[in-house]
Amino acid sequence: MITSAIDGRIRFRSPALRDQGQAERLQELLDSLEGVSLVSANPRTGSLLVEYLPSVLDQQTVIDAVGLPKVEVATRQRADRQSSSRQRYMRIAKRGMLASMAALLLFAVSDRERAHVAAGLAFLAFNAYHQYTYRRRLLV
């Protein structure tokens, strides 16, 4: 799938590009095209960056040369919907942490111990959800 494209530069992402051998073969193929100035594959992220001269090569030719499966367009749309849902939940978690922290401080200043403890527990719950959601990024 194409993650960004401007004249002279296209970035592709695909699980297929995580394979070192396939990424290298694709890099060699694109390097052989006239008008391609840079090809950079990153198998760790499954990303491929292609910089080309728009005066020599058009965008569609580069896309056709890469030849990633068309199925990825539907996969990307589904991932976008899941991503927006995740963003909504993260927004709730972050606002919950902020509100519970404000309540925690307010109750501490006003010397209301039980409310202070309850706000602290609410903060810990929101924080635990936040940490759980980002566990893959945190534990790398």
pTM: 0.49
What residue ranges do the domains of the chain occupy?
2-69, 82-138
Q: What is the CATH number of domain 2-69?
A: 3.30.70.100
Contacts of 16 (CB under 8 A, 6+ apart): 22, 46, 68, 69
pLDDT of 134 > 70? The answer is yes
Tell me the per-residue pLDDT of 5-51, one tens digit each, with 9 for 90 and over: 888 999 988 888 888 888 888 888 888 889 999 999 998 888 999 99
